[in-house]
C-alpha cells in the first residue's frame, strides 16, 4: 500500500482555499457549487474536519476545472481510498490498531519499515526510500502536542519472526516498541500464541476516533484497502476490536513478554 506524507491533505486544502479566493468565492458560494454547507467548508479549510474524496470532487465541480484536484491527488502518489484515513489519523483523538502479521506502521523503526517496504520487489530503490520517508513522517502523530491515545494489539508471532538474517533489525524494533509503550499515550498489548483461534485471524484493521466523536475504520489487503465509515460496518469492527483486545495480555504483562523475546535470543 503506498504511503502518503500527512501534509498532503493540508496541501490540497490550501490549494482549494487559494483557488476559492482567486475566484472571489465565499465559503457559502463555493459550498453551493461543491454540494456542501458553508460550515462544512469552513471546517475542512480549518482542518477540523477530514478532507474526503467527495469534497475534492465537489471542489472540482465548483471550479469547473475538469477534475484538477482529483488528478493532483493521483499524481502525488496516493490511492484515493487512503486519503480520508490519513486525514483521520492526523486529527484523531484515539487510534486503535490490530496487527496479526506486522508491527504497526506507526511503531516501526526505519530499518524494520524499510524491510517491509522492500518486500514489494517491483519498487525501485528511490521509491522504497520515498515511501519510507512518508511512513516515518506519519509517526509524528504519536509525539506531537495533544497526541492521540494509541492502543495496539499485535500477535506474539510478530515479535518472534526473526531469522538470523533479521535478528538485528528485530532487536532494534522490539527495543523501540518497549520505549514507545512506556509513553503515557501509547499502549501495546500482545495476543499470545496460545490463543490459537480468534476473530482477528481474518486480517488487520485500524480505528480512529475523530474530534467530533465519530469513528472511522481502515482495512488493508493485497490490492490496497478500504476506509470504513458506515455505522453497521463500524459496529462490526468495534466488536472485533473488543474481542481481540480482551484476548490480549494486559499492558505490563505484554511489556514483560516483549522484553523476554529479546533476552531469549542472547
Instruction: Quote the pTM value.
Output: 0.71
Lowest-confidence pick of 40-44, 46-50, 53-57, 233-237:
46-50
What CATH homologous superfamily does 7-75 map to? lambda repressor-like DNA-binding domains (1.10.260.40)
Residues of the chain with CATH 1.10.260.40: 7-75
- Model pLDDT for residues 94-129, shown as the tens digit of each residue: 999 999 989 999 999 999 999 998 888 888 888 888
- Return d(Cα 188, Cα 218) in angstroms, integer: 19
Cross-strand partners of 205: 98, 219
pLDDT at residue 5 is higher than 50: no
Query: Would you state the pLDDT for residue 223?
Result: 66
Residues of the chain with CATH 3.30.870: 92-263
Reading phi first (left if > 0) and then psi (alpha if -120 to 50, else beta), residue 227 is in: beta
Q: Which CATH class is domain 92-263?
A: alpha beta
- Return d(Cα 223, Cα 115) in angstroms, integer: 19
pLDDT at residue 4 is higher than 80: no
Amino acid at each position: 500500500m503506498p504511503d502518503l506524507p500527512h501534509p498532503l491533505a493540508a496541501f490540497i486544502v490550501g490549494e482549494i482555499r487559494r483557488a476559492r479566493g482567486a475566484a472571489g468565492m465565499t465559503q457559502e458560494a463555493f459550498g453551493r457549487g461543491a454540494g456542501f454547507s458553508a460550515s462544512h467548508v469552513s471546517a475542512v479549510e480549518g482542518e477540523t474536519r477530514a478532507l474526503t474524496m467527495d469534497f475534492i470532487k465537489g471542489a472540482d465541480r465548483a471550479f469547473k476545472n475538469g477534475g484538477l484536484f482529483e488528478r493532483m491527488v493521483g499524481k502525488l502518489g496516493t490511492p484515493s481510498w487512503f486519503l480520508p484515513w490519513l486525514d483521520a489519523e492526523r486529527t484523531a483523538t484515539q487510534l486503535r490498531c490490530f496487527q496479526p502479521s506486522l508491527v504497526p506502521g506507526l511503531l516501526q523503526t526505519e530499518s524494520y519499515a524499510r524491510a517491509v517496504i522492500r518486500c514489494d520487489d517491483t519498487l525501485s530503490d528511490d521509491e522504497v526510500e520515498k515511501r519510507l520517508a512518508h511512513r516515518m513522517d506519519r509517526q509524528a502523530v504519536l509525539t506531537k502536542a495533544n497526541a492521540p491515545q494509541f492502543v495496539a494489539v499485535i500477535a506474539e508471532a510478530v515479535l518472534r519472526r526473526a531469522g538470523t538474517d533479521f535478528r538485528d533489525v528485530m532487536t532494534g524494533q522490539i527495543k523501540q516498541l518497549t520505549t514507545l509503550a512506556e509513553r503515557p499515550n501509547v499502549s501495546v498489548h500482545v495476543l499470545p500464541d496460545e490463543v490459537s483461534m480468534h476473530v482477528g485471524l481474518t486480517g488487520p484493521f485500524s480505528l480512529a476516533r475523530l474530534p467530533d466523536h465519530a469513528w472511522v475504520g481502515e482495512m488493508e489487503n493485497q490490492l490496497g484497502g478500504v476506509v470504513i465509515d458506515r455505522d453497521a460496518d463500524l459496529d462490526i469492527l468495534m466488536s472485533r476490536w473488543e474481542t481481540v483486545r480482551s484476548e490480549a495480555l494486559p499492558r505490563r504483562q505484554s511489556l514483560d513478554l516483549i522484553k523476554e523475546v529479546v533476552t531469549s535470543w542472547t
